Amino acid sequence: MGHVLLKPGLENFEHYFTMQCVLLAKLYEPLPCFILYSRAKFAYKKAEIDILAAEYISTVKTLSSDQRVEHLQKIQSAYNKCKEYSDDKVQLAMQTYEMVDKHIRRLDADLARFEADLKDKLEGSDFEGSGGRGLKKGRGQKEKRGSRGRGRRTSEDDTPKKKKHKGGSEFTDTILSVHPSDVLDMPVDPNEPTYCLCHQVSYGEMIGCDNPDCPIEWFHFACVDLTTKPKGK
C-alpha cells in the first residue's frame, strides 16, 4: 500500500511538510543502487569490447574470412549493448528529474495554499496583515475610529496578535513572511534545461510534442493557449 498524506491544514502543515520531505527521500533512496548497477553493466560491457578488439587485432592475420566476420559481429553486438545501457541511464536520469520536479512543484503549491489559508484565518480573527484584505480592513477601521496615530498603533499591535494566535511559533512567522508568488518564483538552477517558446524551465502543466525531431519537445499550457489536457494518446 502506498503512502497516504493528508492535505495541509493550518494545524498540521509543519508535520505535513516534514513528512513530504521524508517521503521524497525514501522514494529516491534506491536510486543510487540503480545508478551503480547501470554503471557496472556499462563498464563490464566496455571491458568486453576492449578484450574482443585486442584479440581480433592479435589474431586477424590467422583468421579466415568467416572467423573475422564472426569476431566483428561479436564486437558489434557488444557495442549495441553499450548503447542500450547508455540509453537506460539517460532514461533513468530523465525520470528522476521529472519525479523530483513534480514533488517540488507540489510542495510549492501546498506552501502557497497554506499561506493563503493561514492569512484568511488570521484576518477572520481581526488580524490586520500587511497585504490584500488585511490592509483594506485596516483602512476601514481607521475611518471609523479616527486617523490620529492609528497607522502606528496598528503596526505595533500586529506582533502580539500573531503570537497570541499561534503561541509565538517561529515556523508560522517564517511562513507569513513568504508570499505565494515568491515561492513559485524562486531562483532556478542555471544548469536546469529550458523548454517551450518562452525558453523557461519546466513548471506547471506541460504538453509534449509528438514530433521526434522537435527541438523544443515540451510546451507550457499557457504559452500554447491550452487550459485542459488534450484527449488522445
- To which residue does cell 547501470 refer? 38
Q: How many whole angstroms separate alpha carbon 205 and alpha carbon 97? A: 16
Beta bridge partners of 208: 218
Domain 187-233: CATH class, spelled out? alpha beta
pLDDT of 165 reads 44
pLDDT of 114 reads 84
Nearest to 220 by CA among 199, 205, 201: 205
pLDDT of 29 reads 61
pLDDT of 229 reads 73
pLDDT of 72 reads 93
The identity of residue 167, as a single letter, is G
pLDDT of 93 reads 81
With the CA atoms of 202, 206, 212 and 216 taken in that order, what torsion angle do they form, in degrees rounded to the nearest 10? -50
Q: How many residues does the chain have?
A: 233
DSSP states of the chain: -----PPP-TTTHHHHHHHHHHHHHHHTTTHHHHHHHHHHHHHHHHHHHHHHHHHHHHHGGG--HHHHHHHHHHHHHHHHHHHHHHHHHHHHHHHHHHHHHHHHHHHHHHHHHHHHHHHHHHHHTT---SSTHHHHHHHHHHHHH-STTHHHHHHHHHHHHHHHHHTS-HHHHHHHTS-HHHHHT----TTS--BTTTTB---SSEEE-S-TT-SS-EEETGGGT-SSPPS--
Specify whether the backbone of 4 is left (phi greater than 0), alpha (psi in -120 to 50) or beta: beta
pTM greater than the 0.75 cutoff? no
Q: How many whole angstroms separate alpha carbon 44 and alpha carbon 146? A: 82
pLDDT of 12 reads 57
The identity of residue 123, as a single letter, is E
Q: Domain boundaries in the chain? A: 13-184, 187-233
Per-residue pLDDT of the chain (233 residues; tens, 9 = 90+): 444 444 444 455 556 556 666 665 566 566 666 677 777 788 888 888 888 899 999 998 998 999 999 999 999 998 998 888 888 888 888 888 888 888 888 888 888 888 888 888 887 775 455 544 444 444 444 444 443 443 333 334 444 444 444 444 555 555 445 444 444 455 556 667 778 888 777 777 788 887 878 888 888 888 888 877 776 65
pLDDT of 91 reads 84
